[in-house]
Structure 1
Amino acid sequence: MSTTVTPSRPGPAPGLPRAGRTAQRRRGQRSRSDLLPALLFVGPATIGFLVFYVWPALRGVYYSFTDFSVLSPPTWVGTENYQDLIQDELVWNAFGVTAQYVLINIGAQTVLSLGLAVLMHRLTTSMAVRGALLLPFLVANVVVALTWFWMLDYQIGIVNGGLDWLGMDRIAFFGDSQWAIPTIAMINVWRHMGYTALLIFAGLQTIPTHLYEAASLDGSGEVRSFFTITLPLLRPVLAMVLVITVTGSFQIFDTVAVTTAGGPVNATRVVYYYIYELAFVRFDFGYASAISVVLFLVLASVAFAQIKLLRAGESDLS
């Protein structure tokens, strides 16, 4: 006599309850349904990045191993451009001039921007003040450079006119090799200082106010609170700001191009301007690409060192 066994209906799988599994299934369906709109929004920016950044960068790396001008196809020369780079005194001079500019620009800009941000945070919340600080950054850099170029002119500049009126000697701000790079650096400090201050100001707003209140109850003054509370808690923001400003400072070009054109006697011939001359004046695109690759490696190394040394990914607030 045979016995028929009726298979039982499978019960709910162990783990999440039925309501939890349903909610999880719905979230999975929602995430899949959101994928297409997300790709549509990210797609144009991704295509632009690939076409205008990644592809030119890859071609630049290839050209750095070739002898290439616009009038003839590239010819493979291996590491010859990099060997010439090591022996080129103008390249080392350009990197030295750029480093001098970066040190002046970043040092002055960081200190002044930090001071402005602290003053805004402690003394005023006026939107008019914040807007006024941002105004120089909204003006095109070429316009700023030309305006200061006329104001600092040795003969007709208002600044030298004021020095003459005070009985002081006139200064060839752009014609003296000792003054040219500091002058260009301070022009860009004036332009970017307000924008950098607003970035730091945003970081200051993340610091809890009760820390300052507790410090004041313990007898801590403004200066001591700044060094014991503000600076340590502002470190991640300062790290981000320094990475942005240092990378941007190494790419100085337009101010030099419209004021000194690399002079006097290579005193302001920064790396970007030297690359421009090689590529678009001498049409030596292969050698210019090799210097560009070296500059990219330098900037990547500097940014990586900044992030690691300043512990940009860590916060003392947690």
Structure 2
Amino acid sequence: MSVASSSPPTPRGDGRLAAVFLAPALLGFLVFLLWPTLRGVYLSFTRFNLLTPAEWVGLDNYVRMVKDPIFWESLRTTVAYVVINIGVQTVSALAIAVLLQRLTQSATLRGIVITPYLMSNVVAGIVWLWILDTQLGIGNEIVTALGADRIPFLTDETWAIPTIALINVWRHVGYTALLLFAGLQAIPGHLYEAAKVDGAGEWRMLWRITLPLLRPVLAVVLIMTVIGSFQVFDTVAVTTMGGPANATNVLQYYIYGSAFGRFQFGYASAMSVALLIVLTAITVLQYRLTRAGRTDLG
């Protein structure tokens, strides 16, 4: 006598219910991400100024971009900003995260750390513009009280980009630290206890335990922060407006000026597509070099 095998009943209506919940997000993705991206790629091959129909010009915008010295200068300025911002932010966020884990896990302290991130970039930029004003800013009042000369933080070609980078470090470092703190929570505590028994100090545990096991989270955080840093715009727009002498004319600000200042939407789209390609290449390279998809936790 054979017993007929029966499969568990399949819930009905799950597919339709899932489609209902996914529909708003899918619609938003299609309308606000996919369509603008495809439209931007198309416009990059045209001459378009909003007043007349788009005229197909092939690769002319890309040829112009390669020959445009301002584009390359903007790209170099952006890279300089990214290097300063990512370097300082990553090291600072890692230090804060480790201190939060090793010394205290107070929810109140974590709330204080993330407070600057809750402020918009525009507001943060305006506040720091007032603080760092060469003549009236409290920042320069403190500098002079210490016996030094006033520093033109946002009006000098040498100081402008580092200052903008550090303003954004101040705003984002708390959020980045909490992401890393969450990654640290996944590291088993017994590894630190065993290392202490073996006589390892905090510095050695950082290099031998914390950083290797935090690598996947740190890699993802780096990918996110690098992409965000290359897209810096609002802080520049409200503090220096690309000056002085184009010293802070980052790529996003140059794209914005080309599109909405000179109505060269085709050329601005070409630069946007170039930025998209650069960010895609950097993301893939980071992902592979840091082995973000693998973990050393068994």
For normalisation by structure 1, the TM-score amounts to 0.92
User: After superposition, where does 1:26-65 map in structure 2 within 5 Å?
Assistant: 26=9, 29-30=10-11, 32-65=12-45
Q: Distance in 2 between matches of 1:122 and 1:167?
A: 38
**Per-residue CA distance 1:205-253 (angstroms, 9 max, x = gap):** 0000011111111111111011000000000000000000000000000
- Out of 276, 280, 292, which is 2:256 matched to? 276
After TM superposition, give the deviation of residue 12 of structure 1 in Å: 4.8
Amino acid at match of 1:239: A
- Out of 73, 92, 97, which is 1:112 matched to? 92
Unaligned runs of 5+ in 1: 1-9
Q: Distance in 1 between matches of 2:89 and 2:145?
A: 30
Q: What residue number does 1:253 align with?
A: 233
Amino acid at match of 2:92: L
Q: Distance in 2 between matches of 1:311 and 1:153?
A: 44
Q: Distance in 1 between matches of 2:167 and 2:143?
A: 18
**Per-residue CA distance 1:291-316 (angstroms, 9 max, x = gap):** 00000000000011000000000100
Q: What residue number does 1:147 align with?
A: 127
Amino acid at match of 2:187: I
Q: Distance in 1 between matches of 2:294 and 2:145?
A: 53
User: After superposition, where does 1:184-263 map in structure 2 within 5 Å?
Assistant: 184-263=164-243
Q: What residue number does 1:93 align with?
A: 73
Q: What residue number does 1:311 align with?
A: 291
Q: Distance in 1 between matches of 2:175 and 2:33?
A: 25
After TM superposition, give the deviation of residue 37 of structure 1 in Å: 1.3
Specify the SS of the correspondent of 1:268: coil
Q: Distance in 1 between matches of 2:7 and 2:162?
A: 66
Q: Distance in 1 between matches of 2:256 and 2:17?
A: 41
Amino acid at match of 1:312: A
After TM superposition, give the deviation of residue 276 of structure 1 in Å: 0.3
User: After superposition, where does 1:68-79 map in structure 2 within 5 Å?
Assistant: 68-79=48-59
**Per-residue CA distance 1:168-202 (angstroms, 9 max, x = gap):** 10010011000000000000000000000000000
Q: What residue number does 2:265 align with?
A: 285
Q: What residue number does 2:146 align with?
A: 166
Do structure 1's residue 179 and structure 2's residue 159 form an aligned pair? yes
For normalisation by structure 2, the TM-score amounts to 0.98
Q: Distance in 2 between matches of 1:252 and 1:219?
A: 45
- The total of aligned residue pairs comes to 298
- Out of 102, 109, 115, which is 1:135 matched to? 115
Amino acid at match of 1:143: V
Specify the SS of the correspondent of 2:55: strand
Q: Distance in 2 between matches of 1:125 and 1:316?
A: 24
**Per-residue CA distance 1:37-86 (angstroms, 9 max, x = gap):** 11111110110110011001001000000000110000000000000000
Q: Larger radius of gyration, structure 1 or 2?
A: 1
Q: Distance in 2 between matches of 1:63 and 1:215?
A: 58
Amino acid at match of 1:280: F
Specify the SS of the correspondent of 1:234: helix
Q: Which runs of 4+ in 1 moved over 3 A?
A: 10-13
Specify the SS of the correspondent of 1:176: coil
% identity of equivalent residues:
57
After TM superposition, give the deviation of residue 22 of structure 1 in Å: 3.4
Do structure 1's residue 22 and structure 2's residue 2 form an aligned pair? no
Q: Distance in 2 between matches of 1:166 and 1:241?
A: 37
Specify the SS of the correspondent of 1:73: coil
Q: What residue number does 1:301 align with?
A: 281
Amino acid at match of 1:93: E
Q: What residue number does 1:5 align with?
A: none
Amino acid at match of 1:274: Y
Specify the SS of the correspondent of 1:69: coil
Q: Distance in 2 between matches of 1:177 and 1:312?
A: 37
Specify the SS of the correspondent of 1:114: helix
After TM superposition, give the deviation of residue 11 of structure 1 in Å: 5.1
